[in-house]
Amino acid sequence: MAEQTAGTPSPTTLRRAHFFMRLSRAWDSRFESMARAGNIGRWYSAVGNEATTVGAALSLLPNDALSTVHRDLGAILTHYLDPTRLAPALFEPQDRTAWDALRPDPGALLHRLASQVLGRRDGFTRGVDRSFHYGLIDRATGLRHVGMISHLGAMIPVAAGLALANLQDGNQNVVVGFIGEGATSQGDFHEALNMAGVMKLPLILVVENNRYAFSTPLHEQFACEKLSDRAPGYGIAGETFDGTDFEAVHGAFERALARARTGEGATLLEAMLPRMRGHAEGDGSYELIAADERARWLTHDPLPRFEAWLTRIGAADAARIAAVQETATAIIEAAVARGLATPEPELHEAWRNPFAPGPVADAFARQHAEVTRG
């Protein structure tokens, strides 16, 4: 192994990052081909975002909270799964963290996630929907994941509220919230970051700036040069970085996490990302971008860039890179095949009470029973 430069993430971090970036990409490839073949109705591809989403989630500790939107599969996989049990041949004994021992069986969790996005009975919402609109909160395993609300910007005050709860509990946990740049013109963005500044909340808001909201380009969305320029106005820290450069992502998160955990408060991180896909596969938004611009962004893929860098610093060779790619593809193929073989729910099974236990939930359940009986 060649010398690593100062500040380079540890070999364990690099092995985990590589595996999860490839796992996320393999998942997208599989779902994109199903969307193209008409086997699933819609898919929101995270291609191009992997260095940012995986880099962010890798830095989290048990019971730090993650709030995601539609392009954050890499963060979800990294937050949930113990890679040393999922792909033991790819890891060294020292790669297993104390949190890995707490995390649930990764195969079972992957099956639930695949079932979720395939609308199957074993999904988190038991097949009610086929999306990332669900949450998974389990303090015993350290998993705190709050899934998305569709309304742009609505997740930012939720993430700020989670951070406030940490402050009130007196713990050292932080919240990492993701949002597209299309959400930053909403009032919720301003209100939540203002509150985060005043209350010094342990919040890191990551704006995934992929330069388009659907097909609306940046200059039609806002007039400031960088979104992170807004941070001083709220009295918080802000950074803009190349979100396809894992080393830059890792450094930005280390700094933001250190601030959040030591009471210095919130950070607005702006990850500049390539527009490598449309808003959703097949919605026509990609084709509205000029062909030469699309071609240019396709050359900004974070995965070959990361693998070339791993090779340059001596952290991986061609055989290792091929093994990670093949293993990730095989794991996803198996998870999707098992998901597809899982039944869709019967109507009465898909139903779930959206209210917390209590009189409102009881009334809702009675009403549902009447409707089901017809």
Ligand X SMILES: Cc1ncc(C[n+]2csc(CCOP(=O)(O)OP(=O)(O)O)c2C)c(N)n1
Minimum CB separation of residue 67 from ligand X in Å reads 14
Minimum CB separation of residue 210 from Mg ion in Å reads 4
Minimum CB separation of residue 132 from ligand X in Å reads 12
Q: Site for ligand X (CB under 6 A): which residue of 20, 212, 241, 246?
A: 212
Q: Site for ligand X (CB under 6 A): which residue of 36, 42, 151, 312?
A: 151
| Cα maximum dimension of the chain | 71
Q: Match 């380009």 to its residue by tokens.
A: 217
Q: At a CB cut-off of 8 Å and minimum separation 6, what does 276 contact?
A: 45, 47, 48, 297, 298, 300, 301
Q: Site for Mg ion (CB under 5 A): which residue of 49, 210, 240, 327?
A: 210
Chain-centroid distance, C-alpha 167: 23
How far is it, in rounded angstroms, from Cα 110 to Cα 358?
32
Q: Which stretch binds ligand X (CB under 6 A): 17-25, 83-91, 146-154, 290-298?
A: 146-154
Among 165, 111, 133, 124, smallest CA distance to 42 is for 133
Q: Using CB distances below 5 to 8 A depending on partner kind, what does residue 151 bind out of Mg ion, ligand X, none?
A: ligand X
Asked if 150 is part of the footprint of ligand X (rule: CB under 6 A), the reply reads yes
Asked if 67 is part of the footprint of ligand X (rule: CB under 6 A), the reply reads no
Contact criterion met (CB below 8 Å) for 68 and 132:
yes
How far is it, in rounded angstroms, from Cα 291 to Cα 16?
35
Contact criterion met (CB below 8 Å) for 328 and 25:
yes
Q: Which stretch binds ligand X (CB under 6 A): 3-11, 103-111, 144-152, 162-170?
A: 144-152
Q: Which stretch binds Mg ion (CB under 5 A): 78-86, 115-123, 193-201, 202-210?
A: 202-210
Q: Site for ligand X (CB under 6 A): which residue of 123, 180, 238, 243?
A: 180
153 versus 180: smaller Cβ distance to Mg ion = 180
- 130: tokens are 């086929």
Among 234, 257, 238, smallest CA distance to 166 is for 257
Long-range contacts of 320-324 (CB under 8 A, 24+ apart): 321/18, 323/89, 323/90, 324/18, 324/19, 324/22, 324/90
Q: Which stretch binds Mg ion (CB under 5 A): 31-39, 204-212, 297-305, 337-345?
A: 204-212
Asked if 75 is part of the footprint of ligand X (rule: CB under 6 A), the reply reads no
How far is it, in rounded angstroms, from Cα 99 to Cα 74?
18
Supply the DSSP string of 357-374, one letter for each residue. TTHHHHHHHHHHHHHHH-
Q: Which stretch binds ligand X (CB under 6 A): 19-27, 116-124, 206-214, 264-272?
A: 206-214
Minimum CB separation of residue 115 from ligand X in Å reads 24
Asked if 183 is part of the footprint of ligand X (rule: CB under 6 A), the reply reads yes
Q: Using CB distances below 5 to 8 A depending on partner kind, what does residue 183 bind out of ligand X, Mg ion, none?
A: ligand X
Q: Using CB distances below 5 to 8 A depending on partner kind, what does residue 119 bind out of ligand X, Mg ion, none?
A: none
Q: Which amino acid is at 150?
A: S
Minimum CB separation of residue 136 from ligand X in Å reads 22
Q: Phi, psi (5° rounding) for residue 68?
A: -120, 160
**Binding-residue total with Mg ion (CB under 5 A):** 5
Q: Site for Mg ion (CB under 5 A): which residue of 119, 180, 265, 302?
A: 180
Q: Which stretch binds ligand X (CB under 6 A): 89-97, 139-147, 175-183, 318-326?
A: 175-183
Q: Site for ligand X (CB under 6 A): which residue of 279, 286, 302, 315?
A: 279
Binders in 214-273 for ligand X, by CB under 6 A: 214
- Find the helix or strand (DSSP H, E) in which 203 lies: strand 203-209
Asked if 184 is part of the footprint of Mg ion (rule: CB under 5 A), the reply reads no
CB atoms within 10 A of CB 125: 18
Q: At a CB cut-off of 8 Å and minimum separation 6, what does 58 contact?
A: 13, 16, 17, 20, 78, 250
Question: Which residues contact Mg ion by CB under 5 A?
Answer: 180-182, 210, 213
Question: Which residues contact ligand X by CB under 6 A?
Answer: 71, 150-152, 180-183, 210, 212-214, 279
